[in-house]
Amino acid sequence: MVERALPLGETLHEISVDVGRVPLRFPAKVPWAIAMVLSLMLVGLFLVSITYLFARGVGVWGLNIPVNWAFAIHLYVWWLGLGHAGTLISAMLLLMGQDWRNSLNRFAEAMTLCAVVCAGIEPIIHLGRPWFFYWMFPYPATMGVWPQFRSPLEWDIWAVLTYLTVSFVFWYIGVVPDLATVRDRARKRGWRVFFGIFSLGWRGSARHWDRWRRCYRTVAVIAVPLVVSVHSEVSLLFASGQIPGWHSTIFPPYFVLGAAFSGFAMVAMIAIVMRHVFQLGGLVTERHLDVLAKVLLASGLMTAYGYVFEIWDGLYSGNVHEIATIHDRFFGIYAWSFWGAVFFNFLPLQALWLRSVRRNTMLLFAIATSVVAGMWMERYMILTTSLYKDFLPSSFGVYHASFWDWSTYIGMIGVFFTPFLLFVRYIPSISIFEDKEVLAREHEEARRG
């Protein structure tokens, strides 16, 4: 028999209630408060760190010549990678008419937003003179100088800004009808006003739905190539340099896949937590997790292919420096990051071949965590192993993350979770109307037998 995305037991109204109550009568006040407090503490740590950073200079990090990029840049790549899954899940699956998407896309998109914000902050605080970051934009400056459009950094700025805008718009037009639903369920006047304003007076008119749907699909269609282009450009930030270990044509696809991989893992983690905390088991079903796990496995294997090919690429080049870099990745002083990436990204992942594991929330969560950690190491590895020994031994040097490297990073995690927590608290975290659509269709099918 066909497996359904949603249990027939649910009725349209129940969905409104299940999801709609989340903002209105919040089920998990205590855990949420705890999480919020923790994440606010991290934000505090972040503020302290960047205050010190801005006061003293980027030297407070462990950077040096040659390793003058480390945490800020590798985390920029990492955060952006986490973000991509949101857009991908939403857009791609929408286009492929994957029903199971509906229970995940909303908070996946929100997760994207938060991650992109973090990703956007990193390259700005890493500047030597962050207060001049706007020099990257083409405005008529006193000296008449303009930005340099051949620079991959310049590309990134535009890519990230576009990506931020598009993911926000995509998320918002998706959420408007649900805001209307909550508006109509709300009892307290304050909530009515709040949701009334942000639902823009949505009435669910057939005319509106018609235009809305065309618009939503258009954005989805465009969002997919956007994701690919954005992370390809991120990879060009490295591939444009001639540094061994960077200067390779495989980088764009390799980066995009890795990004999606880590992103899906992140979505899985959050889905599991929310499902547990908000008792949304009826909506985020085992099937959702199962499909998610399959996607994770697939993208993981593709990333693994990327690893293999990158190494082969280096060896095949016959270039002594490329080979030396590969050697350093295997045995150098940052070998832990390479082997760590291989281990955390791929070994636990293989368990997902088993259906039982895919449907075991605990195990799936553990595996997803390991993937996120693995990708963190991979991005770190790509940066440091290439920079610390490039061509001339007289310039070789070693990088150690300083206390402030870590505090800035850990604080940034709070910058990620704080807005996300606010979102799950005050916005319908699962697409109400789309679930109704699916449910209706399933009833239909059920009736037709």
Partner 1 sequence: MSAPNGTGRSWWQSLEEWAGSESFAETIKAEFPSLFEMARVDRRELLRVMGASLALAGVTGCKPAKSDDVVPFVNRPPGFENGRTDHYATAVLVDGFAQPVLATCVAGRPIKLEGNPEHPASRGATSFLAQAALLDLYDPDRSQSPLLRGNAADWGDFDAQMQRWVRAWKANGGAGLRLLIAPVTSPTLIDQIDRLKAALPNVRVHLFDPLAGYGADPVAQAIGTVQPLLRLENARAVVSLDDDFLGAGPAQVVNAAGWAKRRGDSPNAERVRLYMAEPTPTLTGANAQHRIGVAPSRMPLLAAAIAAELGLGSRISGLSPEEFGWANAAANALLSSRGKALLTVGRHSPPELHALAAIANERLGNTAVEYLEPVALVPDGSYLDLVRDIEAGQVAALFMLGANPAYAGPADVDFEALAKRVPLTIHAGLHFDETAAVSGWHLPLPHALEDWSDARSVDGVTSIIQPVIQPLYDTRSPHTLLAGFTSEGQPPDARGIVRQYWAGKLADEDAWNAALKTGFIPGTEAKPATISPSKMPIQLAKPGGEIEIVIRPDPTIRDGSGANNGWLQELPKPLTKVTWDNVIAISPATASKLGIGGSAEPSSNKVSMIEVESGGRSVTGPVWIMPGQPDGVATVYLGYGRRSVGRVGEGIGYDAYKLRTAAAPWATGGTLLAVPGTAVVATTQTHHRLEGNEEVPTVPSADARYPAPADQQTIYPGWKQGELAWGMVIDTDLCIGCNACITACQAENNVPVVGKKQVYEGREMHWLRVSRLYTGAPANPGTMFQPIPCMHCEQAPCEMGCPVHATVHSPDGLNLMVYNRCIGTRTCSSFCPYKVRRFNWFDYTSDAAPSIEAQRNPDVTVRGRGVMEKCTYCIQRIEGAKVQADIEGRPVRDGEVKTACQQACPTNAITFGNLADAGSAAANRRSSPRNYSLLAELGTRPRTTYLARIEPEDEA
Partner 2 sequence: MAEKLLGVLAEFENQDRLLDAAKATRKQGYRRLDAFTPYPVEGMSEVLKLHDHRIGWLSVIGGFAGFFGMLAIQLYVNADYPLNVGNRPILAWPAFFVVDFEIMILGAVLTPVIGMFYLNGLPQLYHPLFATPRFSLASDDRFFLYVDSADPKFDSGKTSAFLKSLKPVTVEEVLE
Task: Give the interface with partner 1 as residue ranges (CB under 8 A).
Answer: 56-60, 62-69, 123, 126-130, 132-133, 135-136, 143, 145-148, 150-154, 157, 237, 240-243, 318, 320-321, 323-324, 327, 331-336, 387, 389-400, 402-404
Q: Which sign, positive or negative, has the C-alpha torsion 162, 165, 168, 170?
A: negative
Sole window of 179-187, 279-287, 316-324, 388-396 interacting with partner 2 (rule: CB under 8 A) = 179-187
Min dist. Cβ of residue 133 to partner 1 (A): 7
391 binds, among partner 2, partner 1, none (CB under 5 to 8 A by kind): partner 1
Per-residue contact track with partner 2, 119 to 148, x per CB under 8 A? -------------------x-----xxxxx
Nearest to 90 by CA among 100, 78, 76: 100
CB 182, CB 195: distance < 8 Å: yes
Give the CB-side neighbour count of residue 357, counting CA atoms within 13 A.
17
For tokens 């929330």, the residue is: 361
- Give the residue, chosen from 7, 8, 11, 319, that forms a contact with partner 2 under the rule CB under 8 A: 11
Spatial distance between the Cα atoms of 216 and 363, rounded to a whole number of angstroms = 35
Give the CB-side neighbour count of residue 5, counting CA atoms within 13 A.
21
Q: Which of residues 187-216 bind partner 2 (CB under 8 A)?
A: 196-197, 200-215
Per-residue contact track with partner 2, 15 to 54, x per CB under 8 A? -x--------------------------------------
Query: Is residue 169 a contact point for partner 2 (CB under 8 A)?
Result: yes
Min dist. Cβ of residue 70 to partner 1 (A): 11
The pair of structure tokens assigned to 231 is: 């992370």
By rule CB under 8 A, what count of residues binds partner 2?
64
User: What angle do the packed helices 71-95 and 102-125 form, to 10 degrees?
Assistant: 160
> What value, to the nearest 5°, has the Cα angle with vertex 159 and ends 141 and 262?
145
Query: Is residue 386 a contact point for partner 2 (CB under 8 A)?
Result: no
DSSP letters of 244-305?
TTT--TTHHHHHHHHHHHHHHHHHHHHHHHHHHHTT-TTTS-HHHHHHHHHHHHHHHHHHHH
The pair of structure tokens assigned to 263 is: 């992103």
205 binds, among partner 1, partner 2, none (CB under 5 to 8 A by kind): partner 2
Alpha carbon of residue 109 to chain centroid: 9
Query: Is residue 173 a contact point for partner 2 (CB under 8 A)?
Result: yes
Min dist. Cβ of residue 225 to partner 1 (A): 24
Residues that bind partner 2 (CB under 8 A): 11-13, 16, 138, 144-150, 154-155, 158-159, 162, 165-166, 169-170, 173, 177, 180-181, 183-185, 196-197, 200-215, 218-219, 222-223, 225-226, 229-230, 233, 236, 432-434, 436-437, 440-441, 444
